[in-house]
Amino acid sequence: MKFSLMNDQSSNAVQTRVRFAPSPTGYLHLGGARTALYNWLWARKNDGVFILRIEDTDAERSTTESVQEILDGLHWLGLNWDEGPYFQSHNLKKHSEAASGLLATGNAYRCFCSKEDLEAQRNDAEKQKVAFMYDGRCRKLDQDEIENRLRNNDSFVVRFKVPRDSDSTIVFDDAVYGRMEKRAADIEDFVILRSDGSPLYILSNAVDDTLDRISHVIRGADGLANTPKQVLIYEALGVVPPIFAHMPLTLDNKKAKLSKRVHGESVTIAYYKNRGFLPWALCNFMALLGWSGPDGQEFFSRDELIKAFDLSRINRANSIFNYTPGDSKNWTDPKAIHFNSTYLRTMPIEELFPYVKEELVAKELWNESYETGQKQWFQKTIDLIRSRFLTLEDFSSRGRAYFSDDFEFDEKAVKKNLKCDDRLAFFLPELADEIEQLEDYNSSALEEVFRSFADKKEIKAGLIINAARTAVSGSSVGPGLFELLDIVGKTRVVNRLRSAKGLVNK
């Protein structure tokens, strides 16, 4: 009794069901990932269901590698789906059945016009710079002729019969763009079934969304102009259309739509993973490309973003993803870097740990003891060096000297800090001797050694401080010297100071 009451109540509220429906014809790129993110956010916000549907009905271009890349990308971003992946190709039969239904109810008709013929017409129209629209001549075919041609095995496509009453208008309310109206007269009788009997996207997509009971279609604004056609299909099928929410497009700095084909790997999710991005930093950044919170907050935890996110606050204007391929500094949008570096240096060390580990493992700098005996040291080291890092890659490049003796010396640093004064050739070994004697090896003891050494030799402390920095880390920049020396450790510091002699004279 109680049970059925609960059921009744829950059936009153329509469950939020959204989907991300990429076609597996290439990489998962920023635009797609952002669409996935917005859908995911909306599902989570409404305790709804996030569905992954692979629209693989373009057999020519779909690949299994691409499917894998999409799965990997979403997984890495942390955008977990609740149902799927479904494959659109598995539903092909349902789609053509829907077309048959539309044929039976008089909402569609067979068109025997040849592809070549129509293409020629289209080309002509283009040459004359006039709009081409199929004239619907096959609408008028009488039953006898149709049967004749069918007996004859003439090939045909199925076209949707767009209402032709003079003032017929298709209306829908977009959650982002508001009320959209389009005159039916501006829509041609579009093809829904190919001559080989296979369905087209415009049909398959609407049928699948119906079958999956999708409540909200959140997709790129490039779908906006197609929506009236789909609304027509829903209506002809006798189904209430989902709520549409079109999101503005992301453009490149030349204002061209971001696409895998022209932008290649530099806009792919895999690339950001390889270049040392934290997945959530990327999500947080992407969320702000076309959406903003009510109070100006920019950094959001997952829960915060889910709570703050709302379709009504999605912007209508396209945004530019401001990156310059090939530019080492602006290889991606500077604001994306800002999000990554801020997360990198403020997130709890324990959360950062696995990412740094992965990076060091990949670059063969990982030592199992970082997770066991030297764990404390390792965490302290990460914490010390991360404040000037931008991506995870920095831990293995700029941070190399902390994890390996096999690191490079920056030429400019050597010139500036070691070759600047010949006396360093014996100052540094002397310092090494003094440091070796230290019983309590820590940053304040080290500072004491350096300060008194400078007094003794009547030199500026900066001379040996900067020299030691370069001798020990290979660089002219980095953390405060005494913390640096403390972290690198007595043995390595002494060795590096002694061998730096060679760099001074050379």
Partner RNA sequence: GUCCCCAUCGUCUAGCCCGGCCUAGGACACAGGCCUUUCACGCCUGCGACAGGGGUUCGAAUCCCCUUGGGGACGCCA
Is there binding between residue 317 and RNA (CB under 7 A)? yes
Torsion of CA 189, 194, 199, 203, to 10 degrees: -10
260 is catalytic: yes
Contact mark string toward RNA, 398..437, x via CB under 7 A? ----------------------------------------
The CB-of-290 to RNA minimum distance in angstroms stands at 4
The CB-of-482 to RNA minimum distance in angstroms stands at 5
The CA–CA distances, whole Å, from 113 to 133, 154, 320, 411, 464 equal 13, 10, 42, 72, 86
Three-class secondary structure of residue 154 per DSSP: coil
Is there binding between residue 380 and RNA (CB under 7 A)? no
User: Measured from the CB atom, is 188 or 358 closer to RNA?
Assistant: 188
CA 353, 358, 364 angle in degrees (round to 5)? 120
Listed ranges 79-87, 334-342, 425-433, 494-502: which one lies at the site for RNA (CB under 7 A): 334-342
User: Measured from the CB atom, is 375 or 451 closer to RNA?
Assistant: 451
User: Measured from the CB atom, is 13 or 130 closer to RNA?
Assistant: 130
Is there binding between residue 499 and RNA (CB under 7 A)? no
Contact mark string toward RNA, 467..496, x via CB under 7 A? --x------xxxxxxx--------------
Q: Mention every residue, 6+ apart, whose C-beta is less than 8 A from residue 6.
A: none
Interaction with RNA in 230-269: which residues (CB under 7 A)? 248-249, 251, 255-257
Burial class (CB in 10 A: 0-12, 13-18, 19+), 323: buried
Q: DSSP assignment, residue 223? A: G
Give the active site residue among 260, 307, 380, 412: 260
The CB-of-59 to RNA minimum distance in angstroms stands at 8
Q: How many CB atoms lie within 10 A of CB 501?
A: 18
The pair of three-digit structure tokens given for residue 16, joined into one six-digit string: 């939020």
User: Measured from the CB atom, is 33 or 48 closer to RNA?
Assistant: 33
Residue in 67, 103, 118, 445 binding RNA, rule: CB under 7 A:
118
Distance between CA 449 and CA 463 in Å, rounded? 14
The CB-of-491 to RNA minimum distance in angstroms stands at 21
Sheet holding 157-160, edge to edge: 108-111, 157-160, 191-193
Q: Which helix (H) or strand (E) holds 283?
A: helix 279-287
The CB-of-316 to RNA minimum distance in angstroms stands at 4
Residue in 168, 266, 292, 324 binding RNA, rule: CB under 7 A:
292
Distance between CA 83 and CA 85 in Å, rounded? 6
Interaction with RNA in 70-109: which residues (CB under 7 A)? 88
Listed ranges 29-37, 51-59, 354-362, 487-495: which one lies at the site for RNA (CB under 7 A): 51-59
Three-class secondary structure of residue 161 per DSSP: coil
Residue in 290, 308, 311, 365 binding RNA, rule: CB under 7 A:
290
Residue in 100, 322, 324, 404 binding RNA, rule: CB under 7 A:
322
**Please, what is the end-to-end C-alpha distance for the chain in angstroms?**
90
Residues known to be catalytic = 260
